[in-house]
Structure 1
């Protein structure tokens, strides 16, 4: 009877993941739909001293990439080795800064180019669009998981890994591609 109770308890705990994952999926779908139907815009966006909006996005998203790499390192430190309070504070502050810096990049991507898929869209651009919306969906799910006291132990590392992986993929398919194609000129 104890085994049956343990299995049921684990299953109930894993059920907590369902609404969290649903919320993240809803955010990703909403962004994809907005990028498909509401954008791209027709007004030019400011370049903030860069030669093109793509240069602005490439450099800003590279700064986010550095912060997200720091997020990964501090998360492992916190999760595996019970890091001291200053590391946890740095993790939160750098995560907030990474998220805030990612917002103009996302806006420029959705507003300037929209969510691109289908005929005539390259695989690179389509994969970038998917990775971008998955990043924000996974981020929402991760933040919700942090607020749920009884979330299953596997959920936070999986979502954190998805946040990291989706951003790195989006960066590789856009910023890295831009730097390789155009160069590092501002």
Structure 2
């Protein structure tokens, strides 16, 4: 079961990388009222970051890793699911724009690391989602997959959106 879950995550990462390499090229995409495609992506990714941080806090609460170590309230589990779903859905346009509008970019170390982190993020996310239903997996698989998902998103955000904001300022 563990091998299948890890294989599925690796397959998603590899598929996204190959699609980005094959389909990605500069294209004119809608900016949805923002000054550029990059600005749209950066702001939407920033919103996803807020949701991902909520995911981290609720996960730490659920695993009783916050100060006080009391069992998480029932609403924390619900909030974890809601923010996770919202983060996933809000992140899809960012991923689409990255893959379809820019592609898997290895022209600079920053863009290569951003592309790798983005593809690996979705692989880690796939692994995490499958691990939720895996009854016979080692106990550490789910928190490790969740931690990898969080870390890879923050890395991709730092190398993409945060970098963009440093270059242009907080413009719309």
Per the shorter chain, which TM-score range?
A: over 0.9
TM superposition shift of 1:39:
2.3
TM-score (normalised: structure 1): 0.87
- When structure 1 is superposed on structure 2, of 95-104 and 71-80 the one drifting more is 71-80
Q: In structure 1, what is the equivalent of residue 85 of structure 2?
A: 96
Q: Could you tell me how far 1:19 is from its partner in structure 2? A: 0.8
Q: Which residue of 1 aligns with 2:165?
A: 179
Which residue in the other structure is 2:40 paired with?
56
How many residue pairs get aligned? The number is 167
SS in 2 for 1:133: helix
Q: Secondary structure at the match of 2:63?
A: helix
Residue 38 (structure 1) aligned to one of 3, 23, 28: 23
Task: Name the residue aligned to 2:145.
Answer: 159
User: How far apart are 1:18 and its partner, in Å?
Assistant: 1.1
Alignment of 1:1-186 (within 5 A): 16-40=1-25, 42=27, 44-80=28-64, 81-117=70-106, 121-186=107-172
Structure 1 residue 48 displacement after superposition: 0.4
Aligned with 1:150: secondary structure?
coil
What residue ranges of structure 2 are gaps of 5+ in the alignment? 65-69
Moved over 3 A (4+): none
Give the number of the structure whose alpha-carbon radius of gyration is greater.
Answer: 1
Unaligned 5+ segments in structure 1 are 1-15
Match of 1:171, SS state, is helix
Q: Give 3-state SS (helix, strand or coil) of 1:71's partner.
A: helix
Alignment RMSD, CA only?
1.0
Give TM-score, length-normalised by structure 2: 0.94
User: Which residue in 2 is equivalent to 1:9?
Assistant: none
